[in-house]
Structure 1
Amino acid sequence: MTASPPSRHPLQFPNFRAYLVGRFCATLAQYSMMIILAWQAYNIARETMTTAGASAQLGLIGLAQFLPLFLLTPVTGWVADHYDRRIITRLTLALLTMASALLAFATYEGWVSLPLIFFIAVIVGIARAFNGPAYGALAPNLVPAAVLPNAIALSSVAWQAGDILGKALGGYAYAMEPWFAYALSAVLFGVGLVSMLMIGPVPQPPRQQGRHPIRQMIDGFTYVRGNRLVLATITLDLFAVLLAGATALLPVYARDILHVGSEGYGHLAIAPGIGAAVTALWFSFRPMKSQVGLKMLGAVILFGLATIAFGCTAFLPRDIAVEAGVAALVVLGGADMVSVFVRQSLVQLHTPDAMRGRVSSLSQLTISASNELGEAESGFLAAMVGPIAAVIGGGVGAIIITIIWARLFPELRLARSFDPPDIGRAENSQEKPS
């Protein structure tokens, strides 16, 4: 009797299905919580501060989430490579559930404050520092390598769908009852936790013998530095999004420039996710296969142009400014998704399993640097030169960075496909003590 051919679609693997549901719910809760933190902090600050001062608070919120991740990155990547990645995600989701429940209770009782919001932002940063590498390194353990690009695309769809609905839920739920928005995040984190508990045993990466943990942590940096293609994609995304942080200033645009309130803020906030989700859904059926480097460079340039277009909505008549802003942000999100897909595919397919946690932690660090640190940069820059100049200047900066990276890293221009090297030899070499 002839054996049936192996499954070629990731959704046919029960562990991956549970992972996908868990990631969707956790992302839904996370982005809902993050958007409420920023909106609530800005509103509280505006009661006693000027627009410039409140904008600076947005920068500090981003910094509070980034610093824990920056400090913990070497440790969290090593942990993801040496302990059960399922357990790490479960513990961090439990922590996030309790943090969002605390904010719901504090808001309902009326004693929420900026110090509490900053404290929770730090907790969120710590939890994300650990669960990001574990999430990223776990996915390749759940499906065969042959279907991994499709699994990455589906995981990106879940992430972006969570981004879209999370920001929408956060904005609309906050408009109804601020405490309810946090309570909803707590419930969703709980559902994500239950989903991760449903994942059965998975292969564990072999532990390196005879090497000090600090040396093993350094291995992740060494690997990324030595793989110029991975290094180029990670750092390009880092600097481009770091400069073009238009989404970080959405509270300022919604309240003080476009004057659309919390509901309009929700529309603007979900627009990048819509563009990204449509792009990710397309990739889940038609994965990118050719000219991946050039497509990434073009996408980042488009990202910068869309950022400039959004910044310029401040000069448009009010009746069309919001629609134009939403359109620009949809394009921005779609372009960013191309960059995300290329980066994630290269990191997952070019990295030995025994090092995926450490490399994923570095990738997450650059993502967080470009997002949370980008929020800090945008908030502080907006306080100095104004939000409009900060957004437009950031888009110009992203385009300039892309042109420079195309010259500095010819490997990126010449990358034709995601075909990985023989990582089996790399895994064996990593196991040998130096």
Structure 2
Amino acid sequence: MRNNTAPRHDPYAVLRLPEFRLYISARLCITLAMQIQAVIVGWQIYDLTKDAFSLGLIGLAEAIPSIVVSLYAGYLADMVPRKKIIVTVITVLLLCSAALWLFTLDTNAVIEHYGVLPIYGVIFVSGIARGFMGPAVFSFMPQLVTGKQLYANAITWSSTTWQAASLVGPAIGGLVYGFYGITAAYATDGVLVLLSLVAFALIGAKPLPENINPQNLTESLRTGIKFVFGNQIILHAISLDMFAVLFGGAVALLPIFASDILLIGPQGLGFLRAAPAVGSVIMAVWMAYHPITVKAGKIMLWCVAGFGVSLILFGLSTNFWFSLVLLVLSGAFDSISVIIRSTLIHTLTPEYMKGRVSSVNSIFVGSSNEIGAFRAGSMAKLLGAVPAVVFGGVMTLLVVGVTAFKADKLRALHMTPDLEPGH
């Protein structure tokens, strides 16, 4: 008798690939570094200025250069070997970490002469670097796996790694800053960036996918944008996440909640920053064993709605433990949405176009983190931190309602193997 049993799902399939293990190790280190740096910079600037608007400016200083270079970065990722871009960009980030560390060796003199402007300047440069890194890393990852059937598994573990670093990074940043000082915290950040650079350097160079329709810069960018706006599923999935992130900028205001509302100091801030990642890691690991296929679109919509509700309740909470639980839930909901969206983009986008499509995704979603931070900081300056967070949650629910009404193909989406690039 023939065995008609379906192939058993292997949750560790991509982890058996040596280069993919190097990739997620590098991703772990660079994300840890970014999270540690975000906690240090946020607390440092708020400690120096006591100004919510100054916290919002951190996000704006990073978002503007990232958005400006993003489309060209996507084009470059489809024209230049992606590993070369990644190594160059991480070298720039290493120099940025070194600059922030150097500022702390004579902090009073730097503040006396320039205020917080040097910190914003370094964040601006790192925003340029991250604008180039996003499309290159996004399009490099599929070149390390053995087929499209492993995309969802690779994205799940990549997301798990990112979320795990987001969980540990803020706690490390807050604890090192709180117990050993700012110089030691920035030094930790720099060492992790260096380790990421080494891990990426150890991955073998990969040739660019064959481009069946070579184009100049203008035509190439137009093709990438047209592809995204011509695919209703990708467009609505990206738009949904963009507005959720744009209005869900509670993370930028966590220094205010830690300092003035929950009264828990920099150590507590680290745990608040880590809390969403706790939920994300738990959910991502669960999805590695139980990938979502049926009703993926509807599940994505419900999860973004859950994210919005979590934000509203967090904004109203004055209890540290309840706030922590709500942030954990927000991370769990967000993780599902991110994995579904990323799998869709990787699956539906031709290999030779992934850099450009990723750059559009970066403008929509990636930079909306920083713009959302600016939105939250500006509103907190005018209305207070609590109304700013609650408003963001309410607007997220409104966006979900509009998307659920308009996006019929997303509502009906099932993550089936017959999804083909360009369709």
Q: How does the TM-score come out when normalised to structure 1?
A: 0.91
1:25 partner SS: helix
Cα offset for 1:148? 1.5
Cα offset for 1:171? 1.1
Distance (Å, rounded) in 2 between the aligned partners of 1:255 and 1:422: 50
Preserved CA contact (<8 Å) 2:258 2:268: yes
Amino acid at match of 1:370: S
**Which of these residues, 96, 99, 103, is aligned with residue 100 of structure 2?**
103
Preserved CA contact (<8 Å) 2:23 2:203: yes
Closer, same or farther in 2 for the Cα pair 1:89/1:20, shift >3 Å? same
Q: Give the 4+ runs in structure 1 shifted more than 3 A.
A: 207-210, 418-422
Which residue is 1:4 aligned to? none
Preserved CA contact (<8 Å) 2:96 2:125: yes
Give deviations 1:58-102, integer Å, cap 9, x for gaps.
111110100011111110000111111111111111111111111
**Which of these residues, 168, 183, 190, is aligned with residue 186 of structure 1?**
190
Cα offset for 1:210? 5.2
Superposition RMSD in Å: 1.5
Cα offset for 1:209? 5.3
Which residue is 2:4 aligned to? none
Map 1:103-122; keep pairs closer than 5 Å: 103-110=100-107, 111=110, 113-122=115-124
Cα offset for 1:259? 1.2
**Which of these residues, 177, 181, 191, is aligned with residue 174 of structure 1?**
177
Work out whether 1:131 is the aligned partner of 2:136: no
Cα offset for 1:108? 2.4
Map 1:409-428; keep pairs closer than 5 Å: 409-419=407-417, 421-423=419-421, 426=422
Amino acid at match of 2:142: P
Flag structure 1 segments of 5+ consecutive residues without an equivalent: 1-6, 47-53, 315-320, 428-434
Which residue is 1:402 aligned to? 400
Aligned length: 406
**Which of these residues, 234, 247, 250, is aligned with residue 246 of structure 1?**
250
**Which of these residues, 205, 212, 219, is aligned with residue 215 of structure 1?**
219
Identity of aligned residues (%): 34
Distance (Å, rounded) in 1 between the aligned partners of 2:102 and 2:70: 31
Work out whether 1:80 is the aligned partner of 2:71: no
Preserved CA contact (<8 Å) 1:78 1:357: yes
Flag structure 2 segments of 5+ consecutive residues without an equivalent: 1-9
Preserved CA contact (<8 Å) 2:347 2:420: no
Amino acid at match of 1:75: Y
**Which of these residues, 306, 313, 316, is aligned with residue 309 of structure 1?**
313
Which residue is 2:266 aligned to? 262
1:277 partner SS: helix
Closer, same or farther in 2 for the Cα pair 1:58/1:420, shift >3 Å? farther
Preserved CA contact (<8 Å) 2:81 2:205: no
Amino acid at match of 1:187: V
**Which of these residues, 124, 135, 146, is aligned with residue 149 of structure 2?**
146
Distance (Å, rounded) in 1 between the aligned partners of 2:214 and 2:154: 34
Which residue is 1:41 aligned to? 45
Distance (Å, rounded) in 1 between the aligned partners of 2:243 and 2:280: 19
Work out whether 1:66 is the aligned partner of 2:72: no
Closer, same or farther in 2 for the Cα pair 1:257/1:240, shift >3 Å? same
Distance (Å, rounded) in 2 between the aligned partners of 1:196 and 1:418: 32
Give deviations 1:363-411, integer Å, cap 9, x for gaps.
1222233210000000001111111111111111101110001111111
Distance (Å, rounded) in 1 between the aligned partners of 2:197 and 2:204: 14
Distance (Å, rounded) in 2 between the aligned partners of 1:183 and 1:71: 30
**Which of these residues, 236, 243, 246, is aligned with residue 240 of structure 2?**
236
Cα offset for 1:138? 0.7
**Which of these residues, 373, 376, 383, is aligned with residue 381 of structure 2?**
383
**Which of these residues, 313, 323, 326, is aligned with residue 325 of structure 1?**
323
Amino acid at match of 2:136: A
Distance (Å, rounded) in 2 between the aligned partners of 1:233 and 1:81: 23
